[in-house]
Amino acid sequence: MKISLYDNDALLIVDVQNDFLPGGNLGVPEGDQIVPVINSYISLFTNAKLHVFASRDYHPADHCSFAEQGGSWPSHCVAGTRGADFAAGLNLPEDVSIISKATEQDRDAYSALEATGLNNELKQQQVKRVFVCGLATDYCVLASVRGLLQADFEVILLVDAIKGVNLTPGDSDKAIKEMLAKGAVKLTLEELEK
């Protein structure tokens, strides 16, 4: 399906940070492969003068989701560390809106809309349709898409610009199925009208 960009569209890049790339503390297999694809989407959005949002997992050093605190993940994306930085090859525009999430010690949050103000920012900018890409398909992308749909945004899922953790094989496919069943529409770069 061909899709053109309109005034009320925005791009949301979820958690494309060093710790989620291969070699990072919580590396997503092939996570680095989506960076050039996301850069192509960024160009299309900035050329169309549309806004780009980038979320980042941004935990305190003793965050409750870390194994040494009894959580289920290795320490990752600690605020102010290199692991929390956006991937070096990611060409974020100068006026990108950065959304930090899960910044409190005692709360985890997978959705970029959870206690971040993103919902309000999108509404303020009269965004109606959000194009979503990033990491990880089966965690923060899934949770963010659920949140966006629940908040009545249209969601375009950029299926060539997401990668999953797949702790259990098939998790990413399951997540994609759920997002599409809930109303997200899938899209690839070739299907976006240039």
Q: Which residues are catalytic?
A: 15, 101, 140
Amino acid at 112: A
Q: Which two tokens stand for residue 178?
A: 């759920």
Q: Which does 45 bind (CB under 5 to 8 A by kind): Zn ion, ligand VGL, none?
A: none
CB of 110 to ligand VGL, least distance (A): 6
Among 140, 155, 162, 187, which residue sits at the site for ligand VGL (rule: CB under 6 A)? 140
Between 27 and 192, CB nearer to ligand VGL: 27
Place of tokens 């949140």: 147
Which position's Cβ is nearest Zn ion? 57
d(CA 21, CA 31) in angstroms, rounded, equals 5
Q: Which is nearer to Zn ion, 46 or 172 (CB)?
A: 172
Token couple for 151: 């908040």
Residue 136 binds which one of ligand VGL, Zn ion, none, with CB within 5 to 8 A depending on kind?
Answer: ligand VGL
Closest CA to 27 of 177, 166, 161, 132: 166
Q: Which stretch binds Zn ion (CB under 5 A): 29-37, 57-65, 90-98, 129-137?
A: 57-65
Interacting residues with ligand VGL between 44 and 83 (CB under 6 A):
57, 73
Q: Which of 16, 92, 135, 192 binds ligand VGL (CB under 6 A)?
A: 135
d(CA 133, CA 15): 9
Q: Which is nearer to ligand VGL, 5 or 20 (CB)?
A: 20
Q: Which residues of 141-153 are buried (b: 16+ CB within 10 A; e: fewer)?
A: bbbbbbbbbeeeb
Cα angle 93, 97, 103; round to 5: 130
3-state secondary structure of 17: strand
Residues that bind ligand VGL (CB under 6 A): 15, 57, 73, 135-136, 139-140
Residues that bind Zn ion (CB under 5 A): 57
